[in-house]
A and B are shown apart, each in its own frame.
Chain A
Amino acid sequence: MASVAQQIDLAAWIDKSLDYLMSNWDDIPEIAADWDNWDEDDRLDFVLEWPLREDRLHQLQRWQIDGNLSASQLQRFAELEELFERNTPTLGHLLEDESAIAPGLAP
């Protein structure tokens, strides 16, 4: 069973992850609007780093399923899911060849 200190630590990390993901997903329309001004190396670097956000989102989803989110965190998580739904099509354009991507193929 997790200690009180561990629970506080996880709660703080969940708050930080919610902030981080909300900010990153909220930035998508702004990035898309400026995308034509990015050079190809910057675009590729963005695409290569994006999986970090996906991984963090999946960690957050696991904590939500495990019942580790407080009521206020659950409310913010629902807002994040709305943001995710709204900006996923735009993100798909930025990632471009996303249809060819196969998460889970790595050994």
Chain B
Amino acid sequence: MRKERRRSGHPTDRLIRELIQTGRPAQQGEINLILERMATAPFDPRLVRVLTDELGLSYQNRIVQPHEEALYVHLVRRVLADEQWAFGVTQDQDLADLRRSIRIASARLALYQRRGGYIAATLTSTIHAVSAINRGLRSLPQLWVVFSADRGIIVTGYQVSTPGAVSIPKDTRWLQ
């Protein structure tokens, strides 16, 4: 049985959940609030489980342990495994790129549910959000950033080859 989630009490997180639950149209002011909330939210602050093949990888004078700071694991994956961000990019730069992408005027905004969790996500052109110096050798055209409206945090962000490569439910709502 799935455990009941703790839900963030932030008014904009509640707004996101309400929009998903009711399916009512969002006003432009509400869309702006959601984007601002996403762009200023912290990255996942937890220590997270690391996958077996990531153990022992080294980046920025640090070796990946079985449970690691989420932002560090995110960076290691995007730089070393995916090569989407350039070698040398820091956690602060990585997070700044994700935040910048949310604020770009052309960003698309999606709301949906996965595994009972309420999600807001943006899709942006990578070159508009990530500087040439920060882009890795395998940088891809689209940047997808995922925000949990239950936890009030950015959960992940990564580049994909096409908009269709993001995996979302059929009833996902695109607000812009």
Query: Which residues of A are in contact with B by a Cβ distance under 8 Å?
Result: 9, 13, 20, 23-24, 27, 30-31, 38, 40-45, 47-52, 54-56, 58-59, 96-97, 100-107
Asked if B71 CB lies within 8 Å of chain A CBs, one says no
**Per-residue interface assignment for chain B, residues 1 to 28, with 1 indicating a CB less than 8 Å from any chain A CB and 0 otherwise:** 0110100000000000000000000000
Which residue of B has the minimal Cβ distance to A55? Answer: B165
The 3 closest A-B pairs by CB, nearest first: A104-B164, A106-B163, A51-B167
Q: Give every chain A residue within 8 A of B83 (Cβ-Cβ).
A: 13
Q: Does B110 contact A106, Cβ atoms closer than 8 Å?
A: yes
Q: Does B3 contact A106, Cβ atoms closer than 8 Å?
A: no
Set A27, A58, A100, A107: member contacting B52, Cβ < 8 A: A27
Tell me the bound Cα distance from A9 to B161 in angstroms: 18
Query: Which residues of B are in contact with A by a Cβ distance under 8 Å?
Result: 2-3, 5, 44, 46, 48-49, 51-53, 77, 81-83, 108, 110, 114-117, 119, 123, 137-138, 140, 146, 148, 151, 155-156, 158, 160-161, 163-172, 174
Knowing A49-B156, A52-B82, A106-B110 are in contact, say whether A101-B170 is a contact too (CB < 8 A).
Answer: yes
Q: Does B115 contact A40, Cβ atoms closer than 8 Å?
A: yes
Set A40, A44, A52, A102: member contacting B158, Cβ < 8 A: A52
Q: Give every chain A residue within 8 A of B2 (Cβ-Cβ).
A: 40
Which residue of A has the minimal Cβ distance to B140? Answer: A55
Which residue of A has the minimal Cβ distance to B46? Answer: A41
Q: A101-B170, A106-B123 are in contact. List 9 more A-B contacts (CB 8 A).
A: A9-B137, A31-B51, A40-B2, A40-B3, A42-B48, A43-B115, A48-B155, A104-B164, A107-B123
The 19 sampled A-B contact pairs (Cβ below 8 Å) are: A13-B83, A13-B138, A23-B53, A24-B53, A40-B115, A40-B117, A41-B151, A48-B119, A49-B156, A51-B160, A51-B165, A52-B160, A102-B168, A105-B168, A105-B170, A106-B108, A106-B163, A107-B163, A107-B174
Q: Give every chain B residue within 8 A of A59 (Cβ-Cβ).
A: 161
Q: Does B167 contact A103, Cβ atoms closer than 8 Å?
A: yes
Which residue of B has the minimal Cβ distance to A45? Answer: B155
